[in-house]
Amino acid sequence: METSNFTGYDLPTFILMGIPGLGDAHIWISIPFAAFYMTALLANFTVLSIVAKEQRLHKPMYLLIGMLAVSDMIIPTTIIPRALGIFWFNLKSITLAACLAQAFFLPVSATMHSGVLMTMAVDRCVAICNPLRYTSILTNARVAKLGLVCVVRAVLYIVPLSVLLSRMPFCDNRIIPHTYCETMAVSMLSCGDITGCRMYGLVLACVSTGFDMTVIAISYVLITRAVLRMSSKTAHQKALSTCTAHILVILMAYPPGLFSILAYRFGEGIAPSVHIILSNLIYLLPSMLNPIVYGIKTKELREEVVAFICRRFLTGITGYKTT
């Protein structure tokens, strides 16, 4: 088969097929996708706005929640608008630049998301294990620097993978059986050797996710030991309640994410349509549910969210802004 190496003016155009085998159901599938996406944007934007506006929420924990909200808006925005374009308007063609950008920004934002979750675990560990020094150890400036480290780390991790992908020769078949340009889905169209891309992707997943999960596990071992040393049952409950939301978010992020990574490499028995739907929901559902979990489980944030909704409701009824 003829190949193209992305040189000169012959820049390839790929075709995203959406969900093969379920073309007739695209409209129906788009309804929950669109609803989940709009909910994710609205919920995360609300949380981010409240954290930015309310002075009493300018604390390390809430700054981290704000960072999580940013990544939870970027992740679905990277893939869902393109998917909806396929479902609604049959916009299946995608340029090389757009495909590579999507294959870059999705893992970068996902890696950044994982880094923020790891930092949140460290935050809770310091708050429970060393509460008297918490404000001096984790200042707002230090948390901001840790957030920047998460971004830089994510970019440095993914750049080599994107370089490998951009240098691959592609056959005449440029049909991607997916709703977005997932790195492995694109690399499988190459006529060249994709071993380097596959191996780097697998090693990256193990190193990046493995490191973050190890730090999270160590943090919770220390938290558990500190809680067991507390003599008061009320202190037990208070300490654990501050971790509940974070634990729920972790359970929504890592197990499904690891499933998606391993399914592409070892899950040949999984139906393509099932895998594609799940790979979208794995990114979409946590982004929608994370701000809801923190809004419900975190007292100060919950109070501010309720006050914000009440102000908006009263403004809508009376026409006057409330203070």
Q: What end-to-end distance do the CA atoms of the chain give, in Å?
A: 68
> Model confidence over 118-168: pLDDT tens digits?
999 999 999 999 988 999 999 999 999 999 999 999 999 999 999 988 888
Distance CA 196, CA 166 (A): 13
The total of other beta-carbon atoms located within 10 Å of residue 317's CB is 8
Q: In what order do the strands lie in the sheet with 13-16?
A: 93-95, 13-16, 175-176
Say if 1 falls within a structural domain.
no
The tokens 């908006």 sit on which residue? Answer: 312
Q: Which residues of the chain have pLDDT under 70?
A: 1-11, 261-269, 312-323
Quickly list DSSP for 126-187: HHHHSGGGHHHHS-HHHHHHHHHHHHHHHHHHHHHHHHHHHT--EES--EESSSS--HHHHH
Distance CA 119, CA 43 (A): 22
Distance CA 201, CA 198 (A): 5
HSE of 76, CA atoms in CB hemisphere, 13 A: 28
DSSP 20: T
Beta-strand relationship, 93-95 and 13-16: antiparallel
- Would you state the pLDDT for residue 157? 94
Kindly tell me the burial class for residue 217, based on how many C-beta atoms sit within 10 Å of its own C-beta (0-12, 13-18, 19 or more): exposed
Identify the three-state secondary structure at position 76: helix
Domain span at residue 299 reads 12-318
Give yes or no for a contact between 169 and 87, defined as CB atoms under 8 angstroms apart. Answer: no
Q: How many domains does the chain have?
A: 1
Say if 141 falls within a structural domain.
yes
Say if 5 falls within a structural domain.
no
Distance CA 235, CA 214 (A): 26
- Would you state the pLDDT for residue 309? 77
Distance CA 125, CA 221 (A): 9
Q: Which helix (H) or strand (E) holds 59?
A: none
Q: What CATH number did the domain enclosing 99 receive? A: 1.20.1070.10
Report the 3 state secondary structure along 234-247. HHHHHHHHHHHHHH
Say if 7 falls within a structural domain.
no
Distance CA 64, CA 272 (A): 36
Give yes or no for a contact between 76 and 279, defined as CB atoms under 8 angstroms apart. Answer: no
- Would you state the pLDDT for residue 236? 73
Give the residue among 211, 185, 171 at the shortest CA–CA distance from 100.
185
Say if 71 falls within a structural domain.
yes
- Look up residue 45 and give its amino acid: F
Say if 323 falls within a structural domain.
no
Sign of torsion over alpha carbons 304, 305, 307, 311 = positive
